[in-house]
């Protein structure tokens, strides 16, 4: 070579520029959701919160969650662990709030209504939504939050 520059065929340079333009132009545009996508409800429970806590009835024969992580697929283990992990953290946080309430008032909430008004609503606690239709319920007799398995989890 006589010059300090490498010679590249004009066709290869043009192809490179066209490819670069295609990548940049596609990557920079904001895709507009179609009308169907805009109306479709979100099915993901991630980042969704709730204040729905039912009253637990021990005689109802509901199946309770043990909050144990059961990873059946190594690729999806993180997703499979979300529900049980959210349950554990939420139960601990609610138990902490109940202990504070007991320390301040000398008793736990006497019923479900007092639990909802003094613990959930007054503190504006936002509980993570649970997968598989699982729900939160307050066990008045034992002063704790439990998770009842939904129909899809049985």
* 8 vs 135: which has the higher pLDDT: 135
**90 to each of 20, 23, 96, how far by Cα in Å?**
48, 44, 10
Q: Which residue, among 110, 78, 97, has the nearest Cα to 145 in the 3D structure?
A: 97
* Mean pLDDT of the residues in the chain: 82
Helix and strand element counts for the chain (H, E): 4, 5
Q: Band the pLDDT of 132: cuts 50, 70, 90.
A: confident
C-alpha to C-alpha distance for 70 and 132, rounded to whole angstroms = 14
Average of pLDDT values for 69-73? 90
* 125 vs 31: which has the higher pLDDT: 125
pLDDT computed for residue 85 by the predictor: 92
- Would the pLDDT of 98 be above 90? yes
User: What is the length of the chain?
Assistant: 154
* 87 vs 19: which has the higher pLDDT: 87
C-alpha to C-alpha distance for 78 and 49, rounded to whole angstroms = 20
Average of pLDDT values for 112-136? 94
Ranges assigned E (strand) in 51-112: 53-55
pTM above 0.75, yes or no: no
123: DSSP letter:
T
| Domains of the chain by residue range | 49-153
64: DSSP letter:
B
């Amino acid at each position: 070579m006589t010059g300090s520059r490498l010679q590249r065929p004009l066709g290869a340079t043009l192809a490179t520029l066209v490819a670069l333009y295609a990548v940049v132009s596609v990557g920079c545009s904001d895709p507009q959701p179609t009308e169907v996508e805009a109306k479709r409800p979100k099915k993901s429970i991630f980042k969704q919160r709730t204040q729905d806590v039912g009253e637990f009835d021990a005689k109802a024969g509901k199946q309770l969650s043990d909050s144990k992580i059961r990873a059946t697929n190594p690729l999806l283990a993180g997703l499979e662990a979300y529900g049980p992990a959210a349950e554990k953290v939420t139960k601990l946080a609610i138990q902490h709030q109940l202990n504070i309430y007991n320390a301040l008032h000398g008793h736990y909430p006497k019923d479900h209504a007092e639990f909802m008004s003094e613990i959930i609503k007054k503190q504006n606690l936002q509980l993570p939504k649970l997968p598989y239709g699982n729900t939160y319920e307050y066990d008045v007799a034992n002063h704790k939050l439990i998770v009842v398995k939904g129909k899809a989890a049985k």
